[in-house]
Amino acid sequence: MMKPPIDDVEKPLTLAELMGAADADPEPTGPRFWRSLSELADDGSFAEQARSAAARAQAAIYGLDEASRRKFLTLMGASFALSGVVGCGVQPVEKIVPYVEQPELIVPGRPLFFATASPAGGDGLGLLVESHMGRPTKIEGNPSHPASQGATDIFAQAEILTLYDPDRSQVLVHDGRVDTWDHFLRFAVDLRTRKLESKGRGLRILTRSVSSPTMLDQLRRLKEAMPEAKWHTYEAVSRDAAHKGAELALGASHELRPHLDKADVVVALDADFLSWGPASVRLSRAFADRRDPDLTGGTMLRLYAFEPTPTVTGAAADHRTPVAAADVLLVAAALAKALKVEGAPALATDRISAHSDAITALAAELEAHKGKAIVLVGDSQPAEVHALALAINSALGAIGTTLTFGPAVEQGASLVELVRDIDAGNVDTLLVLGGNPVYEAPADLKVAEALKNEKLTTLVHMGLYNDETGAISHWHLPEAHFLESWGDVRSSDGTIAPIQPLIEPLYQGHSPIEVLSALLGEVGVPSREVVRNYWRTKLPAPSFEQTWRAALRDGVFRLPGESEAAPTVAAPKLDKVTWPAPAAPGGEDLEIVFRPDPTIWDGRYANNGWLQELPKPITTMTWENAAMVSPALAKKLNLRDGQLVVLDFRSTPLEKKIPILIQPGQAENSVTVHLGYGRARAGRVGNDIGFDANLLRRSDALWSSFGLALKPTQETTKLPITQHHNSMRSEEDGRDILRVHKLGEHPHHHEEPTGSLIPDPPVPQSEDYAWGMAIDLNRCLGCSACTIACQAENNIPVVGKDQVLNSREMHWIRVDRYYEGGEENPATHFQPVPCQQCEKAPCELVCPVEATSHSDEGLNEMTYNRCVGTRYCGNNCPYKVRRFNFLGYNNYEPNVSNLPMVNNPDVTVRMRGVMEKCTYCVQRINEARQNAKIAGGKIGRDEVVTACQGACPTKAIVFGNLKDPESAVSKLKASTRNYSLLGELGTLPRTSYLAKLTNPAGGAGHEAEAPKESHHG
């Protein structure tokens, strides 16, 4: 931060300076934008690492060593079922048989789309699923559903791979032997008879969060029939604290519904609302719209973030402050005191004294934006912080404007209570319907030991996988994937959507609804009829069938007389809140911070190869978790990346040594570990990867606590991090890659070159179409939904950890992450990079067999069966967006796996030895062309939507016809913020970028005019 001159010490600092947003030193060393600490230091190690990586890749071009090869062949699960790495991977001969009579509605080669919803995490996300000949292949967002608005997140995109995972549970198991569903139903009827006699005494049901109206109705009816039975819920990543906080402040639990579209100032207190939570897709869209000066008339929402570890939300903030998780309560209390909130606690703020002036200035800005400001608290913070935030929001006039409420999600009793009852011998029958408590529960609950209690005579587990809980159960029931089953789900915004199957259960799975139906005496009633019977009581009788069919078609239940008005709530009060003493370190104690993994969440996606290999937004790490420490702590303890350490929490050391990752922007004495790894029964892809952070977790410290000791060892390991793969930077750092400036500033204009030494392509240009793309960096959050959508659409294989370490990941679009500023709290920027579709492409000139060529519509095309693997094109690509298929990653194990069913039939499945890259989803362009030809016209304006564009929650990616001046992409390219990546090379790329804007306090402000010039090196 720039210091004031000595003779001007008494001059008050601006809010921008107080929040650490001032410009860096006028003569910084190293690059303005950097991707790692070694690159920032510019000590030569970065170049040496790059050369070493290149040498390793060159040495391994023709195969793997024997140990790596054996490991590679074991990864035969989700997206990997390989037959071996041999020869050129010639596909086996297969016979196909034509239809004698075509099924109704099915036209070969034309997909159908069906509306459904994902119930993950107890919250609904409306989806449209593409089905080819009765086979689901791709998931899109449902434009009719308010929670998705046509977009998705990475988890929804990857559910297709989970559906076909051959490691999913395929047989019903009873006492270690394969059994039948009919046998279980007979057992369930007998169990019902016995439990009715005892009014349900000793019966417990454990589920994850349930927001299915039908299933909640079943649980209520079961409670009426068996009043002494009890329902419990447990999520490793839950919203319990937010619900309890609302109960403390409002007298009743409510679902909070933020409205960022009405906000000018947002404060995130350890709240990663842009990637974590029930409404992240919806909130991401609203946030991006409020940050778009073209939509808002030149103004921008301003975001402040206080957090212990870098997040997607923190990266998007104009002002980000690293604070320990325990100190977030102190920040909230100081903010409440500055706003004169009634009942706010007077807590000692010594630990945040460095931020006191900034918090006072922030309070003044919030006060100036009453009715247009909101304070959000993350689910990892205790209930007291949520209650305090509600009081702050009330004082700011947020309630009823930027913050409304919905009815609370029904919850069962806690897992802690269940374990206590089992230990007391009060439970003889437990049904675990979904979830994996043996793995997911905190270590101190000792769930595995409790479930082996000899008084618990019957343990039934239903799950997608025969996992850690299924392994010790008396009954294990295969669960049907939501794409194979009927149901319904309510979203956090109150929208209710039907869940309808796209395919018959692949592995004879059933749904929890069917298990509950058996306990209710409704044996043999299909889940579809159970759902229909419930909604028959809610929808108008005369037109039920019409309304039902409309709900299935649209993906949304539109209830008669449903009011959009939010319920009124009592004014928040803090008189019933008992304020905890802020946790403080003792001696050399560090704070441990638990977080769900950005890609595999709480471990439920551990066997999904797409998500394992997806680089995490901030760290760009794959296939691994690590202990994240700050640069200051690393220097203090003499730690380095990849060094193995022993973590000891509350005198309980973790047996497995875990690697260190030095994370810029991490709170100084906080160590972050991610959940989801260390699985023993995830499947062939997810087993034995990383370490199990749940072994350190405690029921009274679910998210953070002091008491951690870190003991370094002399051992090291290599972390599969992709941030330096496919680098576009020269060693002199003279290239203009990323452009960022403040709102209202007028940076120096960079002239785009008009000439080029590269000759024109030897093809005429089409008079009707010139395809192009624009990516708005101001909207991009770095969530990687585009990467996973491209993988699903274009049959992109997974290569595994060893190959990632060799820089061989196959993603056609990558999301580069750059830092700006000092290592302790840098600004973070993201840049998606697909093939730039150069009009004068260097790759085309050097291909000896013309496998890459130029179309008359401007596409840089690939002819895979011409490619002989010289890789000249990749060497000549300045953007490093071409991928070489070194090994037979797509050779699936025959007669075992359903994985080939995941492939998009409209896209070639590439075999070993060819170069591949982004094609602007040419298959979608061709489909639109065929439809236009049949209709006797041209492709409609903005009709073609690429996979990355369709998945993007913020609409950062826009594609279309540059020949149409009214197309969305043409309008974006006319913006003064538009620039070409490495445009000085004269390649004339068809993909361009819009510079990112920031809105720091003390800058142009909320009412600034839109900038006239936006180019910035």
pLDDT of residue 940: 93
DSSP per residue over 210-276, as a string? ---HHHHHHHHHHHHHSTT-EEEE--SS--HHHHHHHHHHHSS-EEEEE-GGG-SEEEEES--TTTS
Where would I find the H helices in 728-876? 785-793, 801-805, 842-846, 872-876
Provide the terminal-to-terminal Cα distance of the chain, rounded to the nearest Å.
20
SS3 611: helix
DSSP 474: S
202: enclosing H helix or E strand:
none
The DSSP H or E segment spanning 692 is none
Per the structure block, which two tokens stand in for 755? 């000439």
The structure tokens listed for 671 are: 């160590």
The Cα–Cα gap between 670 and 980 comes to 40
Using an 8 Å Cβ cutoff, are 692 and 441 in contact? no
Could you tell me how many residues make up the chain? 1017
- CA–CA dist 901, 16 (Å, integer): 54
User: Which amino acid is residue 831, in one-letter code?
Assistant: Q
Point out the residues of the chain with pLDDT beneath 50.
1-18, 20-28, 50-51, 54-70, 72-92, 94, 731-732, 1005-1017
Q: What is the pLDDT of residue 69?
A: 43
pLDDT over 70, % of the chain: 86
User: What letter represents residue 970's amino acid?
Assistant: S
Distance CA 214, CA 446 (A): 32
Mapping DSSP to helix (H, G, I), strand (E, B) and coil, where does residue 528 land? helix
CA distances to 78, 155, 223, 319, 754 from 159, in Å? 11, 6, 33, 35, 45
CA dihedral angle for residue 216, residue 217, residue 219, residue 224, rounded to 10 degrees: 150
Alpha-carbon span 65 to 70, nearest angstrom: 9
In 3D space, the residue among 704, 690, 684, 632 whose CA is nearest the CA of residue 657 turns out to be: 690
- Give residue-wise pLDDT tens across range 304-344: 999 999 999 999 999 999 999 999 999 999 999 999 999 88
Closest Cα to residue 309, out of 828, 816, 814, 830?
828
* 658 phi/psi in degrees, rounded to 5: -125, 150
Contacts of 188 (CB under 8 A, 6+ apart): 515, 518, 519, 523
Classify residue 464 by its DSSP letter: S
Closest CA to 837 of 969, 676, 679, 691: 969
* Contact partners, residue 159, CB within 8 Å, separation at least 6: 118, 120, 139, 481, 482, 483
DSSP 8-state code for residue 793: H
pTM: 0.89
Cα angle value 865/867/871 (rounded, 5°): 160
Beta 860-862 vs 852-854: how paired, if at all?
antiparallel
Which among 814, 796, 855, 853 has a CA at the least distance from the CA of 726? Answer: 814
- Residue 334 CA to residue 583 CA, distance in Å, equals 16
Instruction: Write out the DSSP string of 78-89.
Output: TTT-B--S-TT-
The whole-number pLDDT of residue 410 equals 87
Beta bridge partners of residue 741, listed in sequence order:
997
Q: How far is CA 621 from CA 618, 787, 813, 900, in A?
A: 8, 15, 16, 27
Task: Name the token pair of 174.
Answer: 């009873």
Q: Which residues share a beta bridge with 377?
A: 269
For residue 144, which of 553, 654, 661 has the smallest C-alpha distance? Answer: 553
For residue 568, the model assigns a pLDDT of 75
